[in-house]
Structure 1
Amino acid sequence: MSQDAPARQDPPREEHHELRADGITAAGSIVMAVAGSAPAYSITATTAVLIAAAGLASPAALLWCGLPMLGIAWAFAYLGRADVNAGAAYSWVGRALHPILGFLAGWALVVSATIFMVAGALPAGAATVSLFDEKAASNTLLVTVVGAVWFLIMALAVLLGVRVTARAQWIMSTVEVALLVVFGVLAIVRAAGSDHAGPSFDWSWLGFSHFSGVGGFVAAALIAAFYYWGWDVSSNLNEETKDGRKAAGRGGIIGVIIVFLLFEVFTIAVQVLLPAKVIAKSDGNILSLLGDVLWPGIGGKILVIAVALSTIATLETTLIQVTRSLFAMGRDHTIPLVFGRAHKKWRTPAFATLVVTGVSIILFIGSNFLGSVGDILSNAVSSIGIQIAFYYALAAIAVIVAYRRLVFQSVRNFIFIALWPGLGAAFMVFVFVAAIPNSTLPVILIGFGALAIGVIPLIIFWRKGRAYYGRRPLELPEELVTSQIDISSNDPKVQ
């Protein structure tokens, strides 16, 4: 070649965007999982809704939804061992089952999280306003504005980086859980006595005898699923967690156990210590009422602080889930590629965060025309329950398919990879299907309609996302194939 000829230039390579690694510790992963389920928020916003649907069967609904939910947490843990991906179920289901199912699983999380951020901001605003003026907490416009302000603050924290987010979660969630434990002990002591306004606790409350048929069980199960939902934020953070291949899944399992215990204690305490009429009229303020009974004069205010911290914390974790899912989708070009770009300095999905924040603010404003806080929460909870059941079921099925060669290698593998996640999948499929004839029209339109909208980006980006839709099968690492899988240890135990 002549020396005067221009040197050949390599074609420009597409810029690779990565999230900040090692921003969250193993303990921080547990904190994130607990914050994602938001125990104080879930209890105060959902207990009255659950009791209205299930009555004395409310503790049973939490138990019989909690057991399969723990099986799904095991599924997430094992899937995370095979594929560390911010999209979590979006990636796992797509590679283990089918890319279309994977995309719809990710879409289900995105729409459920977006709906929740509207519903979640309302209790944050209500809790804050009630600290200063309890009567003003019924003003939907004021509550929405204050909730939106909190949401914007949390959005800024998420935008600035996972380390800022993790520090904020440690503070908020530690205080929240500490307060709940103290009042939980007070509630157990008070409920054990004879001085209470409701019926005495009976172990039959944990059985099936108090459900009003299949329809009653399904309605209660959808609500109970909403209680637990959010623990899987630890999996969406696996790319940003130290030893995320194991720590993220382990954090989800421990988080589910912690929130299950808190949910049961406070649901039983509410039914035993508060009159039925008070529960029915609580309008998302149940913990404050319970606090006044347990510690007259100051207890209600203390638990309102716990609710505010919990709600603000879960707004942050929900925003993390939806932005990480969108980041993974954008990276695969199953939605606009710009969603898959990370900020060069903060290493966060900045564009996704800004878009979701803007959409949520618009929905906050629109929610003022939908009715009272209680009406909005009731429809949102059941709708989100449908979407949760959809993508949790797919993830639980995915782990069985992905690990099918290892299922019968040991009793442990059979129980934690096949049996328990399989029961979780069956439970979620049942709830999803049975919800169709047993839900109100608004719940069906929001729950199933939002899922159906996901077909639009699927069709539009089918060609551009060919790397994803070309189906890369989920392959287990060689060390997992040749050794006994043990997610509680850093070293595999050779069989």
Structure 2
Amino acid sequence: MADTDVSRTQPPQHELQADGITAAGSIVMAVAGSAPAYSIAATTATLVAVAGLASPAALLWCALPMLGIAWAFAYLGRADVNAGAAYSWVGRALHPILGFFSGWALVVSATIFMVAGALPAGVMTVALFSPENMDNVAVVTLVGAVWFLIMATCVLIGVRITARAQWIMSTIEVTILVVFAIAAIAHALTSSHGGPSFSWDWFGFSHFTGTGAFVAAALVAAFYYWGWDVAANLNEETKNGRKASGIGGLVGVIIVFVLFEIFTIATLVILPTATIAANSGNVLGVLGDAVCPGIGGKILIVAVMLSTIATLETTLIQVTRTLFAMGRDNTIPAAFGHSHPKWRTPAFATLVVTGVSVVLFIGSNFLGSVGDILSNAISSIGLQIAFYYALAGIAVVVAYRKIIFKSVKNFIFIGLWPGIAALFMVRIFVVSIPSLDTIVIVIGLGALALGIVPIILYWKKGAAYFSRRPLELPDELDATAPDDIDLDAPR
């Protein structure tokens, strides 16, 4: 009886569901997080507007540092399996305040994206089933909100259900994209087209009009790739998450890079510039009609719809897992760190984020055009992405500094590549600010600056997170380990 009384007085253990996602599922999540079909449809016109024929180069030269950041996430995840990912890693490797701002940057960028991302979900669904209502803001907003609430329900009731939904949606999406990528290449090679003929110098720097143009294009390209790191936020829920989540991020970046390049080149070759600009919200559908008249556009609209819905789900995962880690560390209200006793998901965080996002989504859609909302969101999110990715790249170099020179592999994948990637992110963050619109700076930096409020409040309350706890390397990665230890061996 005494044991029963003791158990009743113990606080509930708030943990996430272990082994809810497989290694393959981690790759699917990373691809879904980057949302290839959505990114191509919603962002290509923005990229072409700032980079023109240099668009493929912008994607290439941003992919290389993005892979460097993915390597940083992989090695940081080996040292610390934490749902907060960069929030925890940067806080332990560099400084708790920088770590908190890393997590806060993800929270605000994800919230902004969910507001902007639910809109295309509504637009694509209405375009598919009721095209005459595409200009009806109320209908589009309602449909987008319904999709968002469905995805929020999946995230709430269990990671396994979330993973199954992603397998279905992402498999259909990527299959459609691969088929149309092949068809687009064949069309560009055999048919007349409205754009210039492809040239390999599109991958060089000759088509950039200056440093400012390159930086602006890189900021947009960063938005293309963003989202693959959801695999890192799921490492507590992934089987062998210490290693599998890192591999998921790396493979995910490579897959979406190939898709982005093929469709960007196909868009430039097949569609006139004026057509691209006039269809900023759905370039992919127009490309589909050009490649396969009659049905091509509708099929690609399905891909974009699934992609948008899928990435709403992965973005919810990122923000709720980060808030869960923050609440668990008492750097925000502790209720955010509570998990549902049955579903083992961050229920309170999910409900709060869902409520806030729906209110902001409905309000924002009546304040401006679709193009304005997407353009401002992309640029402001790009700033926040560059910020926390840069800190993660620096963190891995600092955390692993004692073993960087123990092998060529360590030097390249832990030191050189992530280090250069971090410098790249810092540069596009700093250089881009003077050229951005005031609204973008207010959204991008203003929302980031709000993080100082919880820092002050919970620092004063003595949250243990702010007492720096150095990042401890696992045995197989520790500098004192024998030289013949396999750095890829699971712990």
Q: TM-score range by the shorter chain?
A: over 0.9
Task: Give the deviation of 1:283 after TM superposition.
Answer: 2.9
Q: Residues 114, 383 of structure 1: CA spacing in aligned structure 2 closer, same or farther, 3 A cutoff? A: same
Aligned pair partner of 1:322 in 303, 319, 323: 319
| 344-353 or 214-223: bigger deviation | 214-223
Output one character per residue of 1:348-370: Cα deviation in whole Å (capped at 9) or x when no partner: 00000000000001101111233
Task: Provide the residue aligned with 1:469 in structure 2.
Answer: 466
Question: Displacement, 1:466?
Answer: 2.4
Give the aligned partner of residue 454 of structure 1: 451
> Residue 328 of structure 2: which of 307, 327, 331 is its match?
331
Q: Supply the distance in 1 between the matched residues of 2:89 and 2:112 (Cα, whole angstroms).
A: 23
Structure 2 match to 1:411: 408
Residue 151 of structure 1: aligned partner: 148
**Unmatched tracts of structure 1, length 5 or more:** 1-7
1:443 to 2:443 alignment: no
Cα deviation 1:9-46 (Å, max 9, x = unaligned): 89955433100000000000000000000000000000
Alpha-carbon offset, residue 139 of structure 1 = 2.9
The answer to whether 1:284 aligns with 2:278 is no
Q: Which residue of 2 aligns with 1:241?
A: 238
**SS at 1:369's partner residue?**
coil
Secondary structure in 2 matching 1:208:
coil
Q: 1:10 to 1:135 in 2, by over 3 A?
A: closer
Give the equivalent residue in structure 2 for 1:5.
none
Q: Distance in 2 between matches of 1:64 and 1:193?
A: 29
Q: Give distance in 2, aligned partners of 1:409 and 1:22.
A: 33
Q: Of 115, 137, 140, which residue of structure 1 is paired with 2:112?
A: 115
1:347 matched to 2:344? The reply is: yes
State the percentage of identical aligned residues. Answer: 73
SS at match of 2:60: helix
Match of 1:420 in 2: 417
The amino acid of 2:285's aligned partner reads S
Aligned to 2:307: 310
- Once residues 485 and 222 of structure 2 are traced to their aligned partners in structure 1, the CA distance between those partners, rounded to angstroms, is 28
- Report the equivalent of 1:264: 261
Cα shift at 1:135: 4.3
The Cα shift of 1:52 comes to 0.7
The more displaced of 183-192 and 391-400 is 183-192
* Structure-2 change in CA distance of 1:10 and 1:262 (3 Å): closer
Structure-1 residue corresponding to 2:366: 369
SS in 2 for 1:443: helix
Of 28, 31, 37, 1:31 maps to 28
Structural RMSD (CA): 1.6
Partner of 1:230: 227
Give the TM-score of the pair, scaled to structure 1.
0.95
Task: Kindly indicate whether the alpha-carbon contact (under 8 Å) linking 2:324 and 2:349 is maintained by their aligned counterparts in 1.
Answer: yes
Q: Return the alpha-carbon distance in structure 2 between the equivalents of residues 290 and 246 of structure 1.
A: 38
Query: Residues of 2 paired with 1:433 and 1:485: CA distance?
Result: 40
1:193 Cα deviation after fit: 2.9
Mapped contact 2:113–2:381 kept (Cα < 8 A): yes
Secondary structure of 1:291's match? helix
Which residue number corresponds to residue 200 of structure 1?
197
Shift of 1:463: 3.2
AA aligned to 1:74 is W
Partner of 2:52 in structure 1?
A: 55
Deviation at residue 479 of structure 1 after TM alignment = 2.4
2:425 and 2:403 map into 1 onto residues whose CA distance is 24
Say if 1:247 and 1:465 are closer, same or farther in 2 by CA, change over 3 A: farther
Q: Distance in 2 between matches of 1:491 and 1:369?
A: 51
Offset of residue 276 of structure 1: 1.1
* Structure 1 SS opposite 2:405: coil
Q: In 2, are the aligned partners of 1:330 and 1:341 still within 8 Å (CA)?
A: yes
**TM-score w.r.t. structure 2 length?**
0.96
2:210 is matched with: 213
What is the Cα deviation at residue 87 of structure 1? 0.1
Q: How much has 1:190 moved relative to structure 2?
A: 1.3
Contact 1:333 1:465 in 2 (8 A): no
Match of 1:134 among 125, 131, 134: 131
1:288/1:9 CA distance change after superposition, 3 Å: closer
Summarize the Cα distance change of 1:142–1:470 in structure 2 as closer, same or farther, 3 Å threshold.
same
Q: Is structure 2 residue 178 aligned with structure 1 residue 181?
A: yes
1:172 maps to 2:169: yes
Partner Cα separation in structure 2 for residue 425 and residue 130 of structure 1: 40
Residue 65 of structure 1 corresponds to 62
User: Among 241, 249, 253, which residue is 2:250 paired with?
Assistant: 253
Secondary structure, counterpart of 2:403 in structure 1: coil
Q: Displacement of 1:438 after TM fit?
A: 1.3
Amino acid at match of 2:316: L
Contact 1:222/1:382, CA 8 A, preserved across alignment: yes
Q: Aligned pair in 2 of structure 1 residues 99, 13: CA closer, same or farther (>3 Å)?
A: farther
Paired letter, 2:17: R
Q: Which residue pairs with 1:97 in the alignment?
A: 94
**Alignment of 1:394 onto 2:424:** no
**Cα distance change of structure 1 residues 157 and 274 upon mapping to structure 2, 3 Å threshold:** same
Q: How far does the alpha carbon of each residue in 1:244-303 deviate from its partner, in whole angstroms, 9 at most, with x for none?
A: 000000000000000000000000100100111110010311111011111111010000
Partner of 1:16: 13
- CA change 1:441–1:202 in 2 (3 A) is same
Question: How far, CA to CA, are the matches of 2:460 and 2:474 in structure 1?
Answer: 29
Retained in 1: the 8 A contact 2:137–2:366? Answer: no
